[in-house]
A and B are shown apart, each in its own frame.
Chain A
Amino acid sequence: MAAIVVLAIAAAIVYTIAAAIQSDPTAFGSGWAAVGHYVFHRLILQGIIVTLELTVLAMVIGIILGVILAVMRISPNPVVSSVSWFYVWFFRGTPVLVQIFFWFNLNLILPHIGIGIPFTSIWWQVSTNTLITPFMAATLGLGLNEAAYMAEIVRAGIISVEHGQTEAAQALGMDRLLVMQRIVLPQAMRVIIPPTGNETISMLKTSSLAFAASVTELFTRQQQIATATYAVLELLIVASIWYLVMTSILTVGQYYLERRFGRGTQRGLPMTPLQRFRRMLVTFHAPPPATQEVPAVLPSEHR
């Protein structure tokens, strides 16, 4: 019943759009041809590479820092856990766009960045503009912001692991770090991975905010072409197609990751869609022998 309602609504929407296009076929003009033309444009493809680099780097920063923050947060040391709390409060409480702009404009308050060993003459210094490139500013902005969200996700995962697991590991003489690394985190993965997959998919799209730091990622590239050619809608469609392709691939990857970390929680893993498809083909060609044995019983009943 629910399926019929949903299908009816979907059909109505498709019909409305189709009717609108039919009533004025010139509205989008040769739009689809332009979409086809730009979809593999060199600049677009270059933009995709940058988008992927941004996403991967920001997620790596986010995940590593997130795990550290989560472990800090549950530390018995109040200073350590407060620092973690403060970090999450600050980075989750300010817009990521503001953070990207902040790193992008860091040179205004800090023209040089230096590192050295106190009380010695060893000092190394670099101009902020050399170190914080637009790409770096966007990576830092996205990654440090992501860490705040990942910290909460990892913490939820850690909390989901039964306390008896920690006690059993401690009773064997394992220290805090070993318990975390070998016992708690691997089990927390089951809870951590689905939202992390969502975060990665979300990051792929949020990385378009790097536009603000003029990083030449996918969104910036389509915008540049659109400005030059006036094919605004066409290029938005091109960008959307690519974002959809990339998020679809990530969704498949997420499915297999979840399976991998679900070990030991179910008796035997469920079949993958591919396995189910193959099983279906096999049963089509050769019916299982059980069905052939059935008639042998039937005649006796007829007698």
Chain B
Amino acid sequence: MAATPMVKAEAVHKNFGRLEVLRGIDLEVAPGEVMCMIGPSGSGKSTFLRCINHLEKIDAGRLSVDGELVGYRQQGDKLYELRDAEVCRKRSEIGMVFQRFNLFPHMTAVENVIEAPLRVKRESRAVAVDLGRRLLERVGLAEKVNAYPNQLSGGQQQRVAIARALAMQPKLMLFDEPTSALDPELVGEVLDVMRGLAEDGMTMVVVTHEMGFAREVGDSLVFMDAGVVVEAGKPKEVLTSPRHERTRTFLSSVL
């Protein structure tokens, strides 16, 4: 039997009011796997990503991370909603990087990185700062430790955001279009950091429009449209010989 999947989705549904955003998602992400998700905007890929760390509640189906249900506890055949503290603890094990960075503007780069280790994990300041400096060095920002977010370029901000997520030593990293808000010449530096993470064996789910990245770094590629997974497989196969008409149309419009 294979190892427990890091992410396992079975018939996941999500509605916003009457709008069905996810209409039965089934997929699995193995530990160490890099899964890229592509699809037109409004296809539900970002929503699915946000369901994984319970920023959105799912309305039906089962979604688990590392063998544990997201947001619920099963007792017998009944599901109980988790208390806030438990939801927080589970979220702290999953890193998330946003399209618009969402760095805390009132804190310096290193303060952004050490905030969660200090307040959530309650690590000592010395340990946290040491970790923070090493992480910023890892994303190539050793000399920007004390800069405020608005003194950094978009690419630099996104790299701080990645360091901030890594500071909680997550077992899974979620990337929500991490390069979509960047100037074209800054995309490369962020993708390089992500490539390094993948090489170190991090499990990653990446919603992206970067087909090159998906092809080179991704272990699997999922194409979503209108709330369902249309096609999934090896990135090269999906990108070069898509089996579905919708995938073909989408790829021809973005490539």
Contacts of B88 in A (CB 8 A): 170, 173-175
CB neighbours of B95 from chain A (8 A): 171
A178 / chain B contacts, CB cutoff of 8 Å: 119-120
B55, A264: Cβ atoms closer than 8 Å? no
One of B34-42, B148-156, B184-192 at the interface? B148-156
Residue on B nearest A261 in the bound complex, by CB: B106
Instruction: Write the nearest CB–CB distance from B82 to chain A, whole angstroms.
Output: 13
Contacts of A241 in B (CB 8 A): none
B116 interface residue per 8 A CB criterion = yes
Instruction: Judge whether B7 is part of the interface by a CB distance below 8 angstroms.
Output: no
Q: Indicate which residue in A171, A172, A174, A264 contacts B105 across the interface (CB closer than 8 Å).
A: A264
A210 to chain B, nearest CB (A): 37
Contact pattern, B 81-125, Cβ under 8 Å of A = 1, otherwise 0: 000110011111111101010111111000000011001100000
Residue of A nearest to B91 (CB): A173
CB-CB < 8 A to B85: which residues of A? Answer: 175
- CB pair A168–B102 under 8 Å, yes or no, is yes
- Alpha-carbon distance between A176 and B88 when the two chains are bound, in angstroms: 9
Between A164, A173, A174, A186, the greatest number of chain B beta carbons within 10 A of the residue's beta carbon is seen for A173
Q: B106 near A172 (CB under 8 angstroms)?
A: no
A162 partner residues in chain B, CB cutoff 8 A: 102
| B151 A167 Cβ-Cβ under 8 A | no
CB pair B120 A172 closer than 8 Å: yes
> What residues of B have a CB within 8 angstroms of the CB of A263 in the complex?
106, 148
**A182 within 8 Å of B by Cβ?**
yes
For A174, list chain B residues within 8 Å (CB): 88, 116, 119-120
Rounded to whole Å, the gap between the CB of A106 and the closest CB of chain B is: 39
Q: Which residues of B contact A171 (CB under 8 A)?
A: 53, 55, 91, 94-96, 165
Q: What sequence of 0s and 1s flags, for each residue 167-193 of chain A, a beta carbon within 8 Å of any chain B beta carbon?
A: 111111111101000110011000000
A42 at the B interface (CB under 8 A): no
Q: Is the CB of A170 within 8 A of B55?
A: yes
| Chain A residues with CB under 8 A of B94 | 171
Assess the A173–B116 pair: CB atoms within 8 A: yes
Query: Would you call B164 an interface residue if the criterion is a C-beta within 8 Å of the partner chain's C-beta atoms?
Result: yes
Q: What DSSP secondary structure best describes chain A's contact surface?
A: helix
Residue A302, interface by CB 8 Å: no
| A285 located at the interface, meaning its Cβ lies under 8 Å from any Cβ of chain B in the complex | no
Answer yes or no: A303 CB below 8 A from chain B CBs.
no
Asked if B168 is an interface residue, CB under 8 A from chain A, the answer is: yes
Q: Which chain B residue has the least Cβ–Cβ distance from A173?
A: B92
Q: Which of B85, B90, B120 gathers the greatest number of chain A CB atoms within 10 Å?
A: B120
Output the residue of B93, B107, B165 with the most chain A CB within 10 A: B107
The answer to whether A175 touches B84, judged by C-beta atoms less than 8 angstroms apart, is yes
Q: A167-B98, A173-B120, A182-B115 are in contact. Are A264 and B106 (CB under 8 A)?
A: yes
Closest chain-A Cβ to B120's Cβ sits at a distance in Å of 5
Interface extent on B, as a size class?
Answer: 20 to 34
> Contacts of B89 on A, CB cut-off 8 Å?
173
Q: A187-B105, A263-B106, A265-B105 are in contact. Are A173 and B168 (CB under 8 A)?
A: yes
Q: In the complex, which residues of chain B have a beta carbon less than 8 angstroms from the beta carbon of A202?
A: none
Q: Does A133 contact B (CB under 8 A)?
A: no
Contacts of A172 in B (CB 8 A): 91-92, 115-116, 120, 164-165, 168
Closest to B151 in A: A267
Residues on B with C-beta less than 8 A from A240 are: none
Q: Does A214 contact B (CB under 8 A)?
A: no
**How long is the Cα–Cα vector from A265 to B168 in the complex, in angstroms?**
27
**A186 vs B91: C-alpha distance when bound (angstroms):** 23
Minimum distance in angstroms from B183 CB to a CB of chain A: 18
Chain A residue contacts of B107, Cβ below 8 A: 264
Question: Across the interface, which residues of B come within 8 angstroms of A127, CB to CB?
Answer: none
A176 to B164, CA, bound (A): 19
Interface string of B126-148 (1 = CB under 8 A from A): 00000000000000000000001
Residue of A nearest to B53 (CB): A171
**What is the minimal beta-carbon distance from B14 to any residue of chain A, in angstroms?**
16
Chain B residues with CB under 8 A of A46? none
Q: Per a CB cutoff under 8 Å, which of A169, A176, A183, A264 touches B148?
A: A264
What are the residues of chain A within 8 A of B105 when measuring CB–CB? 187, 264-265
A172 CA to B92 CA, complexed, in Å: 5
Q: Is A165 an interface residue (CB 8 A)?
A: yes
Known contacts A170-B91, A175-B85; is-contact A186 B106 (Cβ 8 Å): yes
User: How long is the Cα–Cα vector from A170 to B90 in the complex, in angstroms?
Assistant: 11
Cβ 8 A contact of B84, one of A167, A168, A176: A176
Contacts of A264 in B (CB 8 A): 105-107, 148-150
Which 10 interchain pairs have the tightest Cβ spacing? A173-B92, A168-B102, A172-B116, A171-B96, A164-B102, A264-B105, A264-B148, A173-B91, A173-B120, A264-B106
Could you list some 14 contacts between A and B, CB below 8 A?
A: A165-B104, A167-B55, A168-B161, A170-B91, A171-B165, A173-B89, A173-B116, A174-B119, A175-B88, A182-B119, A186-B106, A264-B106, A265-B105, A266-B150
Given contacts A169-B104, A171-B55, A264-B149, 17 further A-B contacts (CB under 8 A): A164-B98, A168-B161, A170-B55, A171-B96, A172-B91, A172-B115, A172-B165, A173-B88, A173-B90, A173-B120, A174-B116, A174-B119, A187-B105, A264-B107, A264-B150, A266-B150, A267-B150
